Amino acid sequence: MPMPAAPDDPPKTPPTKLSAPARALRKLGLARAIDLALHLPMRYEDETRLVPIASLREGDTAQVQGVVRDSRIETRTRRQLVVRVADDSGELVLRLLHFYPTHQKTLAVGQCVRVRGEVRGGFLGREMVHPEFRAVAPDAPLPQALTPVYPSSAALPQAYLRKAVASGLARAPLDEILPPAALPPGLPPLRQALQLLHQPPPGTPLETIEDHSHPAWQRLKFEELLAQQLSQGQAQAARAQLRAPMLAQRTDGLAAKLLAALPFALTGAQQRVVAEIAADLALPQPMHRLLQGDVGSGKTVVAALAAAAAMDAGWQCALMAPTEILAEQHFRKLVGWLAPLGIRTAWLSGSRKGKARQKMVEQVASGEALLVVGTHAVIQQDVAFARLGLAVVDEQHRFGVAQRLALRHKLEEQLLEPHLLMMSATPIPRTLAMSYFADLAVSTLDELPPGRTPVLTKVFADDRRAQVVARIRDEVAQGRQVYWVCPLVEESEHLDLQNATATHAELSAALPGASVGLLHGRMKAADKAAVMAQFTAGTLQLLVATTVIEVGVDVPNASLMVVEHAERFGLAQLHQLRGRVGRGATASVCVLLYTGPLSATGKARLRSMAETNDGFEIARRDLEIRGPGEFMGARQSGDALLRFADLAADGALLLRARQVAPRLLREQPQTAAAQVERWLAGRAEYLKA
């Protein structure tokens, strides 16, 4: 076995000449010594002990050492190498169905071998099929530590990886950089912690390594959490240096006029968050605020009031939403509110191309359009704002980090950053808010507009479909409207469409009196909008849709929603969907149809939907079940996720890191910078978004 190349050294041969395992190492991202040192075993094998052959029991995985007494190729059922190994206590048969001459050579009669594998009771007594084995000197010492088994790939043999990791661990700069007072008490030094995790001495309680409660694990988690807090602190300090336009409200300004023209009064919660945002906008630092509020809590009007403040001060406002339907709904609502007040709103989306698009882009660049609403199209290269003062991102978690950053950088040329308001109906759990979003101001709409009736949720197996269809018939007969949501078929838009089309046909046949519409992701934007408009106008009674209706759609007369294959959806997603009903005064029902058999967690998930209508509680359960990925937004942010710490389990360590970070930043900024560099390297930029 060749020694692995030291990955930190410049390659001595051109990269194309790298051995296959060396290339595989790089593919796994194990380039630097520190990367190797942090590549932790997934389990361990105990090679520190030899078991006498006579005491082997069936089912044990054990290591024995003995001398080969007999080695022969048998061809009874199929060709195989059958070897007898004996120690002082007894004899063991090794059986190899695939073997090479080198194997025969290692297992030649008279050879002393060390063998490790699972014991079976075979025809000839105890045997091991395809054990690991190697020739050893009879007095070869046993390893002093458990043998690590690392996550690897097919091209990367364990033995090679082990050597590479051991070498990386020895070379990695792991000196203690944190002042001891900063550390939680009782944790080992970093190098020692890693040493133990890579090579636990015999007798280490492996269960505490497996459940990550071992002090060595705690040390790693704390390091990582602290680095993250420090990075957040740095970002916050950097942001405090940035300048933004001051958008002070006038008492008789546009916002006041809009407020007076609204057909409703703001809820107490809306008044509160409007004031919080207004205070931020009046400051010369860019706002970085998340507005979270359950579906239907009325975030749009809050955004409109913020936009009014910006425009009043002569600055532009951009509002970006993740889907065309949602963006268009915002557009219509905002135009309805603001056009009477003399504001011109531009519309930018992927489907608007050519001359029409060019005209919009020009209006944005000249500053003629004060308000720009759209999808990702808003952040395309060629869209340059004359004076962007406020960017609003709806359903922010559905955008990638890079996209959110792009919006912030829209104004960079002018040395002023726009204020940023992010909105989400998926509330950020507290632990997550404290870690990734430590630097984010949060406003919460914790009150729904008056007159809403909570949605009743029922969970049915799919064999009760006929009953559900009968219920739809009733609703439609009473003049109500119904959504039927088809699931997204993973990796196949084509299948989605087939399913949705088939369901549309089935329901049209079952409900002869009703007009049934179909809405799916593959339709042209204009066609989608037309179907949506028909449903909004009440010409369609039933809308069969894939998840394009997930966010923002507002039809108060819809009182029943059926979600097919509900088990395939995330909880947050189901909650979003459910929010499409219960928008009017009638009591609404959401039926979650599932196709069994369901796992215990699958059942628990759907049950929690029936148990609570509280988006915060649902988000908490979702975090428990699925981890924080969903809240971080987009897959691109996978890199930014914690690697060692687990927010659901490590609240205490997180708290400690939060206490220590500000002081370290103040008193030892260089140490803080080194800590961030060691743990986050190139990822810090993403944590800022």
Q: Residue 180: exposed, middle, or buried by beta-carbon count in 10 A (0-12, 13-18, 19+)?
A: exposed
Provide, rounded to whole angstroms, the least separation between the CB of residue 483 and ligand ADP. Answer: 16
* 675 belongs to the binding site for ligand ADP (CB under 6 A): no
Q: Where are the beta strands (DSSP E) in 382-425?
A: 388-393, 419-424
- The closest of 616, 621, 675 to 297, measured between CA atoms, is 616
Segment contacting ligand ADP by CB under 6 A, of 34-42, 211-219, 265-273, 668-676: 265-273
Residue 463's contacts (CB-CB under 8 Å, 6 or more residues apart) are none
Provide, rounded to whole angstroms, the least separation between the CB of residue 425 and ligand ADP. Answer: 6
Residue number, 147 or 292, with CB nearest to ligand ADP: 292
Residue number, 168 or 298, with CB nearest to ligand ADP: 298
* 296 belongs to the binding site for ligand ADP (CB under 6 A): yes
d(CA 604, CA 108): 57
Residue number, 112 or 442, with CB nearest to ligand ADP: 442
Q: What is the CA radius of gyration of the chain?
A: 32
d(CA 166, CA 3): 11
* 335 belongs to the binding site for ligand ADP (CB under 6 A): no
Residue 7's contacts (CB-CB under 8 Å, 6 or more residues apart) are 22, 25, 26, 30, 31, 32, 33, 35, 36, 164, 168
- The closest of 679, 619, 228, 220 to 438, measured between CA atoms, is 228
| 487-512 as b/e: b if 16+ CB within 10 A | bbbeeeeeebbebbeebbeebbebbe
- The closest of 405, 442, 157, 176 to 291, measured between CA atoms, is 442
Q: Which residues pair with 348 in a beta bridge?
A: 374
Provide, rounded to whole angstroms, the least separation between the CB of residue 175 and ligand ADP. Answer: 51
Which residue sits closest to ligand ADP, CB atoms considered?
298
Binding residue for ligand ADP, selected from 218, 229, 232, 270, defined by CB under 6 A: 270
Provide, rounded to whole angstroms, the least separation between the CB of residue 291 and Mg ion. Answer: 10
* 293 belongs to the binding site for ligand ADP (CB under 6 A): yes
What order of strands is seen across the sheet that includes strand 481-485?
456-461, 589-594, 558-563, 481-485, 542-545, 516-519
Kindly write out the interface string for residues 522-561 of this chain, putting x where it contacts ligand ADP by CB under 6 A and - elsewhere: ------------------------------x-x-------
Segment contacting ligand ADP by CB under 6 A, of 74-82, 90-98, 297-305, 456-464: 297-305
Q: Which residues pair with 457 in a beta bridge?
A: 590
Residue number, 66 or 322, with CB nearest to ligand ADP: 322
Segment contacting ligand ADP by CB under 6 A, of 217-225, 296-304, 358-366, 668-676: 296-304
From ligand ADP, Mg ion, none, interface partner of 119 (C-beta below 5 to 8 A by class): none
* 298 belongs to the binding site for Mg ion (CB under 5 A): no
Kindly write out the interface string for residues 522-561 of this chain, putting x where it contacts Mg ion by CB under 5 A and - elsewhere: ------------------------------x---------
Provide, rounded to whole angstroms, the least separation between the CB of residue 552 and Mg ion. Answer: 4
* 669 belongs to the binding site for ligand ADP (CB under 6 A): no
Residue number, 74 or 554, with CB nearest to Mg ion: 554
Angle at 138 between CA 137 and CA 143, to 5 degrees: 75
* 289 belongs to the binding site for ligand ADP (CB under 6 A): no
The number of angstroms, rounded, from the C-alpha of 178 to the middle of its chain's C-alpha atoms is: 30
Supply the DSSP symbol for 347. Answer: E
Residue 290 structure tokens: 């998340």
What sign has the CA pseudo-torsion 108, 110, 114, 117? positive
Q: Where are the beta strands (DSSP E) in 456-498?
A: 456-461, 481-485
| 315-350 as b/e: b if 16+ CB within 10 A | bbbbbbbbbbbbbbbbbbbbbebbeeeebebbbbbe
Q: Residue 454: exposed, middle, or buried by beta-carbon count in 10 A (0-12, 13-18, 19+)?
A: exposed
Binding residue for ligand ADP, selected from 31, 143, 238, 264, defined by CB under 6 A: 264
* 100 belongs to the binding site for ligand ADP (CB under 6 A): no
From ligand ADP, Mg ion, none, interface partner of 326 (C-beta below 5 to 8 A by class): none
542 close to 486: Cβ distance less than 8 angstroms: no
Binding residue for ligand ADP, selected from 267, 316, 431, 559, defined by CB under 6 A: 267
Provide, rounded to whole angstroms, the least separation between the CB of residue 556 and ligand ADP. Answer: 7
Q: Which residues 422-451 are close enough to bind ligand ADP by CB under 6 A?
A: 425, 449
Segment contacting ligand ADP by CB under 6 A, of 19-27, 59-67, 249-257, 299-307: 299-307
* 81 belongs to the binding site for ligand ADP (CB under 6 A): no
Binding residue for ligand ADP, selected from 84, 116, 162, 299, defined by CB under 6 A: 299
From Mg ion, ligand ADP, none, interface partner of 168 (C-beta below 5 to 8 A by class): none
From ligand ADP, Mg ion, none, interface partner of 554 (C-beta below 5 to 8 A by class): ligand ADP
d(CA 687, CA 159): 36
* 295 belongs to the binding site for ligand ADP (CB under 6 A): yes
From ligand ADP, Mg ion, none, interface partner of 296 (C-beta below 5 to 8 A by class): ligand ADP
Residues that bind ligand ADP (CB under 6 A): 264, 266-267, 270, 293, 295-301, 425, 449, 552, 554
Residues that bind Mg ion (CB under 5 A): 552
